[in-house]
Amino acid sequence: MPYLRLYARELPIEQKRVIAQKLIDITLRTFKLRANQKYQTSIQFITRQVSGVDGLRATIPRGADFTLEVIGHNLTEEKKKAFAEEAAAMLTPMAPVRLASRIARLLGIKAKSPQQIALQFNELSAAVSDPFVVDSQQLAA
């Protein structure tokens, strides 16, 4: 059961749905999962604040348009590489156009400002089934 977190700017719900479906398809294909595992793949969208939240600064590398965190079992280097290539290719066109690029385009200058997609892979311990579940004992007051 892979878990994915996408740290990004505010995205419309329609775009989130498209991204989620494409990430699920990429996950099934590159991690060689069965079709019925589609419903066991979790994707969490975390909105990055423009002003910067200290808790997210460590997670989102400076200058990255998107940060995609992938947590799963048996993540081999081959699977990571295949996933990274497909996910980056899918997310790059969806990255926001930076102000400098907009200005350059208005002036007729072809500026190369590559979008940055940061990927982070974490192996999920066999003892943990869901990394996003909050311990209920911590919530009791």
Query: What would the pLDDT profile of 13-51 be if each residue is shown by its tens digit?
Result: 999 999 999 999 999 999 999 998 888 899 999 986 544
Contact 66, 85 (CB under 8 A): no
Please check the confidence at residue 134 and state whether its pLDDT lies above 50. Answer: no
Assigned token pair, 50: 């423009």
pLDDT of residue 108: 65
The more confidently predicted of residues 127 and 86 is 86
Q: For the domain with range 3-126, which CATH number is right: 1.10.8.350, 3.30.429.10, 3.40.50.970, 3.40.50.2300?
A: 3.30.429.10
Please give the mean pLDDT across all residues of the chain: 76
Contact 2, 71 (CB under 8 A): yes
The more confidently predicted of residues 34 and 103 is 34
Contact 113, 100 (CB under 8 A): yes
In sequence order, which residues have a C-beta less than 8 Å from that of residue 87 and are 6 or more positions away?
23, 26, 68, 117, 119
- Helix H or strand E encompassing 68: strand 66-72
Label residues 64-78 b or e (16+ Cβ within 10 Å = b).
bbbbbbbbbeebeee
Tell me the C-alpha distance between 109 and 100, whole Å: 11
pLDDT of residue 125: 74
